[in-house]
Each structure stands twice: as structure tokens, then as C-alpha cells.
Structure 1
Amino acid sequence: MLVSFEGSTLVDWTVYAKARGELGSGFVRILGYFREDGVKSVGAIETAMRAQSAAQMVIPAHTLKGEARQFGAEPLAALAEEIETIARDCVETRDTPSTALPLVVKLRPLFDGTLALLDREASPLAERRPAVGGFGRRTPTMFGQR
């Protein structure tokens, strides 16, 4: 069952930082693909829900799940996975995905909130806070102090 998520719990920043490091200069481009694919996936899931078509939910939910995990958006990935699982079960039992409706209703706001956090963090204008302590790092000091 999905729990309400707020603020920083929408993104695992350790996973995000790892992806950013691994993708290097391609990070912003890949994040753009996530945005485009995510908008399409969320729309396709909503359309499939309106049509009561479980089969049409499976692929967009699966895609959203994988792409969200790549950026550390675990709550979004978990919600997409729940929708995918329900849809797959409904395909097997030849049932409508009506039990997924409450989850589909939560999907767009969660996607939008998650994307806003990812975009804010990816912005070249985002404030970068240096890690405190550790090898080669000084702890922050006040102006004029040493």
C-alpha cells in the first residue's frame, strides 16, 4: 500500500547522485527523456484506466517503474509497480483493472511532485552544498574565520 510522501522522501538522493555521476554530461539529457517518457506513461495509464484496459497499462507502468528507479524516485517506482502488478493480474484473469483506480489517481500528483524535485536539483542554478568533513574538505566557516 502506498504511503503519503513529502519533500525529500520522494527521491533517494544517494541513488540520484550515483546516477548523476555515472551519466556525467548526459545526465540532463537522460532526465529530459525521463520527463518525456513519464508524461507519456502517466497519460497512457490514465487512458487505459478510463478504458478499463489492463493490457494497455502494463507497458507504461513497467517503463515508468524502471525509469523512476534509475533516478532514485522510489515512491513513484513503487506506485508504478503496484499498478503494473494489478494490470498483469487482471490480464491473466481477464478482469478489469478497477482495483487500480485509487493508485492511478495518485500517480500524476506523485509524478509531478517527483519531477519538480528532480528538475530543481538538476538545475545549474541549484545551490550545491559541499559535504561537511571528510578527506580534503574543510568544515564551513563564517566569513573572516579560519
Structure 2
Amino acid sequence: MVHQDADFVNETEFAKTRAELGAAFARILGYFREDGAKSIRAIEDAFRARNAAALVTPAHTLKGEAAQFGAYRLSGMAEEIEMVARRCVETHEGPEELIEIVVALKPCFAQTMALLDRDASPVVARRPATFGRRADTTVSSFGRAL
């Protein structure tokens, strides 16, 4: 399972995609959020039905869309599902061996989206204004600044 070693989001690829998409970036990221959720539901439904053939298309779609944003761990998981499902179709086997990766897919997608949203946000965390004075970082045992 090579995907476990992959970054959730490759910052270089993410920045490249963001620059290439320009003003359309937020809209395309929204499509990925919707399409990704649909693909995961389709994968889970196909797995529950033990339908290897029905796993292939949503896994393939998720693989490509995730890779576009540099979400290599999610893309790798989807690729593994796709490849195993294709083999299962060819050998007329059920996809039971995919249970761990299918169960891990939704949490990986959620974590990936959280990272993409964080990095895509136009709001940058800023230090509170101190109006020319140095902020006092001493805190009492009651959580109040001294």
C-alpha cells in the first residue's frame, strides 16, 4: 500500500493547480468536493454490493480529480481500489480484500478537503493588533493575560 507513504496534499502540485486555474480555482475545488463525495458513496455502495465492476469508474474518477489537486494519498487509495477491482472483474472474484482501504477512504477525503480548504482560503491567520505595543504573552493560571 504505497499510498500510505504519500502526502495528503503535495504543496507544489496544489500551488501549480491553483495558479493554472486562477479565478476558477474555488469553483473547481467545489466541484471536486461534490464529485469526490459522490465517488466515495458510489465506491462504498459498490463494495457493500460486492460489485467489483461498479467500483472501477468512481475509483478512476476520484483518482484523477484528487491527483489534479496534488492529493496524492487519496489518489493512490483510489488507484488501488480501481486496480484491484479491475483484477477482480477479470478473475471473477469479489472485492473483499479492499475492505480496509474502502473504510479509510472517507476519512482520508475529509482530511484532504480540510487541508485543501485551509490552503485555499483567502483569509490568512494574522497576529492580533497591538497598536504599537508589544503583546504580553504572560498568562495566569485562569487563562487571563497578566
TM over 0.5: yes
Q: CA deviation at 1:93?
A: 1.0
Identity percentage over the alignment? 57
Q: Under a length normalisation based on structure 1, what TM-score does the superposition of the two structures give?
A: 0.82
Given the alignment, which residue of 70, 76, 88 partners 1:90? 88
Write the deviation string for residues 37-96 of structure 1: whole angstroms up to 9, x where unpaired.
Answer: 000000100011100000110000000000000000001100000000010101111111
The 3-state SS of whatever aligns with 1:3 is helix
- 2:51 is matched with 53
**How many residues get paired?**
126
User: Unaligned 5+ residue runs, structure 2?
Assistant: 127-131, 133-146
Q: Does 1:3 align with 2:19?
A: no
Instruction: Indicate the structure (1 or 2) with the bigger Cα radius of gyration.
Output: 2
Change (3 A) 1:56 1:126: farther
Distance (Å, rounded) in 2 between the aligned partners of 1:79 and 1:59:
14
8 Å Cα contact 1:120-1:126 kept in structure 2: no
Distance (Å, rounded) in 2 between the aligned partners of 1:31 and 1:126:
18
Q: Which amino acid is the alignment partner of residue 51 of structure 2? A: S
8 Å Cα contact 1:10-1:114 kept in structure 2: yes
Provide the aligned C-alpha RMSD in A. Answer: 1.7
Distance (Å, rounded) in 2 between the aligned partners of 1:73 and 1:84:
16
User: Unaligned 5+ residue runs, structure 1?
Assistant: 129-142
Distance (Å, rounded) in 2 between the aligned partners of 1:35 and 1:82:
20
